[in-house]
Amino acid sequence: MIYRTLFVFVAIIALAACQPQKKEINYPKTDLAAAPLIPKPVKTIATQSAFGLDAQTAIYTSTNDPAFEAVGQFLSEKIKGKTGLDLAVNNTSDATVERLIFINQSDSTDLATPESYQLYIKKDSILLNAKTAEGAFRGIQTLRQLIPEQSNDTLTDHPLWVIPSGKIMDAPKYAYRGSMLDVSRHFFSVDEVKKYIDAMAYYKMNTLHLHLSDDQGWRIEIKSWPKLTEVGGATEVGGGEGGFYTQEDYKDLVAYAAKHHITIVPEIDMPGHTNAASVSYPFLNGNGKKVEPYTGTQVGFSTFDAQKDTVYSFLDDVIGEIAAMSPGPYFHIGGDESHVTKKSDYILFIEKVEKIVQKHGKRMVGWNEIAQAKIDPSTIAQLWSNPKDAENAAANGSKIIMSPAHKAYLDMQYDSLTKFGLHWASYIPVDVGYNWDPETIVENLPKESILGIEAPLWSETISNIAELEYLAFPRLIGYAELGWSPTEHLNWEDYKERLAKQAAYLEKMNINYYPSKLIDWKKD
Ligand code: ACM
């Protein structure tokens, strides 16, 4: 099959070579090494010529894996959105084709990870090699970023977008590159989350963690326990109407994320942060007080009753229903700030819930506090507050997701004047969010223990998508680079020039980014 696709590729190149040559075009932007790519690729070699993307360009893909064809279709859709060009995918009978983009499944040993890709851009062809459709998908984000916003206006009857020629060899630093949305303190709709996924994908992030429950709201339909959403879904911080995802909504989000090669990590936070669940079913409550709906922003007052069997059978149902809809490998159980759970109860609870998560075929993830329990080495700890917990979990064989609040929390204000966000961990200006190294921020953490990084966005102070985006952008883009690019490429002065040039994309996507004065934004 590979030989057949390669034959088609060679035949099409030969066909293209036989077409009458167009007049040589004087390309204005032909230095691949100067392209403002984010994340910065591992290796770029510029050849100072260009590929002209135009109506005579076609897309071909390996056809032995339908997921490669889907990547070709995705690229075609995005090219159409950016340029208006309607490029056919895998139409081998079109004789007007002069240039081609070939997305090829390759078994090259140079492709070291499933997300690695190689991009060869020549005058008449672009070849993208990847082992998996996931790698091909990461590669086409690079290609999307290389297509200029404006066509070359020297040829008005023949609009053409100039893509600089050369080679890119690329692979991610970390397997896990994520962000979290807190849809519990304030609810965000399916379409709003999809818009966030679009931007994450453009910058090669691969994991979206959804914080689906907290004291102020329960956001995911559980068919066996309907009051969770009927009662627990009807509140949010500040007294708004709340909301929740039906199981159909959630499956729709999972499928949309999968199309963008993004894994959803569902979180049900427990044993603390559980007031909304206990309001729905008071037998769950373990703090000895009468439960009332809560719409404030305090933390640490709620807990499940860790001593009751009925709590664990409830959790078996909840985790089972969510796990069945979540194709990804992870289930996040929260575990943070359980200040009113007795320590022995907390440990008992985490260990019992870990078994339930595993029974449903998932790997447990929890905030760093879970390292106080005897967790399985397959369980992942997410560092947000206490570096010692991360060290202990790693010493026990667990992988760590790096989300130190003072560097990676998207809900921290940029500075004392910015309208939304908090500052209990720090102010995080755009440069501070970028200028840290996940490998040295915790003293005794071996770098092999780091699974990746995640930028969480808590929503106590934001209640609509414009406010969400104001906190997330542009910082999310920096975290995407920290997660992907090799440490030696991380340089604020270089990054800020490339970030400045993201304004055109952000504005075209109608993303409400914070126009930090540290950046000399370039809008075209
Ligand atoms: C957290 O910020 N409580 C994980």
Q: For residue 406, how far is its CA from the centre of ligand 1 (angstroms)?
A: 12
Residue 22 has pLDDT above 50, yes or no: no
- Residues 338-353: tens digit of each pLDDT: 999 999 999 999 999 9
- 3-state SS record for 462-506: CCCHHHHHHHHCCHHHHHHHHHHCCHHHCCHHHHHHHHHCCHHHH
User: What percent of the chain shows pLDDT beyond 70?
Assistant: 94
Task: Give me the residues paired with residue 271 across strands.
Answer: none
- 3-state SS record for 96-127: CCCEEEEEEECCCCCCCCCCCEEEEECCCEEE
Mean pLDDT of the chain: 94
Q: Answer whether 337 contacts ligand 1 (Cβ < 6 A).
A: yes
Q: Answer whether 367 contacts ligand 1 (Cβ < 6 A).
A: yes
Q: For residue 336, how far is its CA from the centre of ligand 1 (angstroms)?
A: 6
Q: For residue 252, how far is its CA from the centre of ligand 1 (angstroms)?
A: 27
Q: Answer whether 409 contacts ligand 1 (Cβ < 6 A).
A: no
Tokens of residue 444, six digits = 């005794």
Tokens of residue 239, six digits = 């007294």
pLDDT in the model for residue 210: 99
Task: Give me the residues paired with residue 176 across strands.
Answer: 452
Strands (E), 396-483: 400-402, 450-457
Q: For residue 243, how far is its CA from the centre of ligand 1 (angstroms)?
A: 22
CA-closest candidate to residue 314, choices 222, 397, 381: 222
Task: Give me the residues paired with residue 208 across strands.
Answer: 179, 264
User: What percent of the chain shows pLDDT beyond 90?
Assistant: 91
Q: List the residue whose alpha carbon is closest to atom 1 of ligand 1.
A: 336
Q: Answer whether 215 contacts ligand 1 (Cβ < 6 A).
A: no
Q: Is residue 11 exposed (0-12), middle (13-18) or buried (19+ Cβ within 10 Å)?
A: exposed
Q: What is the number of the ligand 1 atom nearest to the C-alpha of 299?
A: 3
Q: List the residue whose alpha carbon is closest to atom 3 of ligand 1.
A: 336
Quick one: angle between helices 190-202 and 475-484, nearest 10?
50
Mean pLDDT computed over 69-96: 95
d(CA 426, CA 475) in angstroms, rounded, equals 14
Mutate to test the pocket of ligand 1, among 337, 423, 459, 461 (most ligand atoms within 8 A of CB): 337
Task: Give the Å distances, CA to CA, from 81 to 74, 76, 85, 97, 522.
Answer: 11, 9, 8, 20, 21
Contact of 326 with 341, CB cutoff 8 Å: no
pLDDT classification of 17: cutoffs 50, 70, 90? very low
Residues found in the chain:
524
Whole-structure pTM value: 0.95
- Residues 378-395: tens digit of each pLDDT: 999 999 999 999 999 999
Q: What is the number of the ligand 1 atom nearest to the C-alpha of 337?
A: 3
Mutate to test the pocket of ligand 1, among 385, 401, 428 (most ligand atoms within 8 A of CB): 385
Contact of 166 with 46, CB cutoff 8 Å: yes
Contact of 293 with 326, CB cutoff 8 Å: no
pLDDT classification of 519: cutoffs 50, 70, 90? very high
pLDDT classification of 155: cutoffs 50, 70, 90? low
Q: Answer whether 236 contacts ligand 1 (Cβ < 6 A).
A: no
**Regarding beta strands 125-130 and 99-105, do their DSSP bridges make them parallel or antiparallel, or are they unpaired?**
parallel
d(CA 381, CA 313) in angstroms, rounded, equals 24
CA-closest candidate to residue 11, choices 95, 73, 123, 70: 95
Mean pLDDT computed over 236-244: 97
pLDDT classification of 150: cutoffs 50, 70, 90? confident
Q: Answer whether 336 contacts ligand 1 (Cβ < 6 A).
A: yes
Mean pLDDT computed over 430-437: 98
Backbone angles phi, psi at 165, to 5 degrees: -90, 160
Q: What is the number of the ligand 1 atom nearest to the C-alpha of 405?
A: 2
d(CA 321, CA 310) in angstroms, rounded, equals 17
Residue 142 has pLDDT above 80, yes or no: yes
* CA atoms 441, 435, 200, 187: torsion sign: positive
Give 35's contacts (C-beta < 8 A, 6+ positions apart). 44, 145, 146, 164
Q: For residue 368, how far is its CA from the centre of ligand 1 (angstroms)?
A: 9
Mean pLDDT computed over 157-173: 95
pLDDT in the model for residue 422: 98
Catalytic residues: 337
Q: What is the number of the ligand 1 atom nearest to the C-alpha of 409?
A: 2
- Residues 24-62: tens digit of each pLDDT: 444 447 899 999 999 999 999 999 999 999 999 999 999
Residue 6 has pLDDT above 60, yes or no: no
Q: For residue 363, how far is its CA from the centre of ligand 1 (angstroms)?
A: 20
* CA atoms 413, 414, 415, 418: torsion sign: negative
Q: Answer whether 384 contacts ligand 1 (Cβ < 6 A).
A: yes
Mean pLDDT computed over 364-374: 98
Q: List the residue whose alpha carbon is closest to atom 2 of ligand 1.
A: 384
pLDDT in the model for residue 16: 44
Q: Answer whether 182 contacts ligand 1 (Cβ < 6 A).
A: no
pLDDT in the model for residue 524: 67
**Regarding beta strands 363-367 and 263-270, do their DSSP bridges make them parallel or antiparallel, or are they unpaired?**
unpaired
Tokens of residue 92, six digits = 């081998």
Mean pLDDT computed over 258-277: 98
Q: What is the number of the ligand 1 atom nearest to the C-alpha of 403?
A: 4
Tokens of residue 148, six digits = 């200029």
Tokens of residue 437, six digits = 């190294």
Mean pLDDT computed over 308-337: 98
Q: For residue 88, how far is its CA from the centre of ligand 1 (angstroms)?
A: 47
Give 336's contacts (C-beta < 8 A, 6+ positions apart). 269, 272, 273, 366, 367, 368, 369, 384, 385
